[in-house]
Amino acid sequence: MTISSEFQEVLRAGRPDFNARAAEARHRYPSFNSELLGQFLTHSVDPFVAAAAPECRGIVASAAYDVALELVGRELAGGHTRGRLLDRLWQEVLPALVGILPAQPAPMLCALCNALLNLHAQGARAEQWLQLLLEQAPQIRGDVLPDIGVLAAWRAGAVQFRFAALRLASAHPQAASAILGLPEQGELTKQLPLLERDPWLLNPGNANVLGHEVGRFTGYGGHFPTPPSVRACAAGFMVKSEDRYFLLLADSFGALLLPASANEYLAATDYQAPASPAPGLIDGGLHTLRGRVEHSFCRDDLQLAWNEHSAALYSPYSFSIYVVPWR
């Protein structure tokens, strides 16, 4: 694959400057891979630069080149999963957004790369986030792009943004409707308090959400060195695995684990879970107000923690936690 004539033209015009920046990046990053830079520029940056309008192509190319140097220098680009996600961002999503990027696009390019990397690192569905942005690209303006990114992030499983996204949803009802399946403006205003209260109220794709399984053994790239123990708290669940602590957040769009502290885990002892009605374990099965929930855990010594809306099933024989709605 060769580089497009548009990008070639820009690179040729600023050759000494581009070369100097690459030399500087080589100094800054000990493991800088020049070959990888060439590949990333050819396969990923080129489609983005080529899609830019001729009058701003120079600025776009310069910004993209700097971001590419940093991505390669920090070993974020490449053939690994993270690198492939970045490739898709540059090859498909950014060309669709190039017309709405600010006049100095570097900070926004960095922000979008950061968002993608964050979602991937947190275990959210980064592919879905990219797809949602791609679908929304024709309808959105540059100034609302960050907000749309947050809505899409929540939909893709970044549940920590639920409250932020609900606030943004009222400002961007059409996008919220398209991304989250929320009702249109009038209904949304009425439903917002309910949505804020109940994390499982939304029903993505009209599918009946059963729950989410989170966590894996660290030896297989997961979070838990030992089978976790769980305590309910108002926000979600506090999880302890050996000397590691996590906050487990879950809603109908997904579940994820965020770093927490021993103090937060201890503080969760004071949380009073609702006593009645409440989910329960009967003969190794989980019974909720929604009915009996099937699970794949060993039925011996099964444990249950619950808060206002969610129940977390865990076992001393498993590295996973199964979170379900119980009301």
Partner 1 sequence: MPFDIFKRVSRAPTNPKDTPRSRTFDVADLYQGPLQSEFDTTDTAVALDEKLRQAYFWVVNSAIISPHYDIEYNDTPPQSFVVGDSKRRLTLPSAQSYSSYVLLPLLTFATRRKCLFVGGPGRGKTASAILMGVLAGYPVKEVRRAMQHGHPQMTIADLLGNPLPADLVGAQRMEDIRIAWRNWLGMRVKIIDEYNRIPTRTQSALLTVMGDNYAEVLNHIYECPESAWYLTANDDQGGGTYQVIEALRDRIDVIVQALAFNPRFLSDLLVRIEEGIRPEEVVPKEIVFSEAEIDQMHGEILQVELPAPLRRRLEFFTSQFELSETAGAQFEYMTKDTARLSAVDWAQLVAADNGRDRLKDLGCQTLNGLSVRNLMTLLVYAKALAYFRGNNSVELEDLRQILPFVLNDKLRADLDAPFFSLPQNAAYRCDSISWLRHLFDLSNAEYERLGLDQEDPITQLEQEFSLGLESVSESETRTRINRIERLVAEWCKGRKLYGHLYDDLLKLKYLHQRYTNYLHWLRSQK
Give the interface with partner 1 as residue ranges (CB under 8 A). 21, 24-25, 27-28, 66-67, 69-71, 74, 76, 106-108, 110-115, 117-119, 146-147, 149-150, 153, 158, 160-161, 163-164, 168, 235, 247, 261-264, 267
- Quote the least distance from Cβ 286 to partner 1, whole Å: 27
Closest CB 155 distance from partner 1, rounded Å = 13
Could you tell me the end-to-end alpha-carbon distance of the chain, in angstroms, rounded to an integer?
A: 55
CB of 289 to partner 1, least distance (A): 27
Q: At what angle do helices 5-13 and 57-73 cross, to 10 degrees?
A: 80
Give yes or no for a contact between 327 and 290, defined as CB atoms under 8 angstroms apart. Answer: yes
Cβ distance to partner 1 smaller for residue 77 or 214:
77
Q: Which is closer to partner 1, CB of 153 or CB of 304?
A: 153
CB-based contact 44:87 (threshold 8 Å): yes
CB of 112 to partner 1, least distance (A): 8
Q: How far is the CB of 29 from partner 1 (least distance, A)?
A: 10
Instruction: Pick the closer one to partner 1 by CB: 117 or 313.
Output: 117
Q: Which CB atom, from 32 or from 314, has the smaller least distance to partner 1?
A: 32
How far apart are the C-alpha atoms of 71 and 65, rounded to whole Å? 10
Nearer to partner 1 among residue 13 and residue 262 (C-beta): 262
Q: How far is the CB of 115 from partner 1 (least distance, A)?
A: 5
Minimum Å gap between C-beta 288 and partner 1 is: 26
The amino acid occupying position 299 is R
Residue closer to partner 1 by CB (options 184, 308) is 308
Q: Is the CB of 192 or the CB of 258 nearer to partner 1?
A: 258
CB of 258 to partner 1, least distance (A): 9
CA 250 to chain centre: 13
Which is closer to partner 1, CB of 199 or CB of 279?
199
> What long-range pairs does 215-220 form, CB within 8 A, spacing at least 24?
215/239, 215/241, 215/257, 215/319, 215/320, 215/321, 216/319, 216/320, 217/319
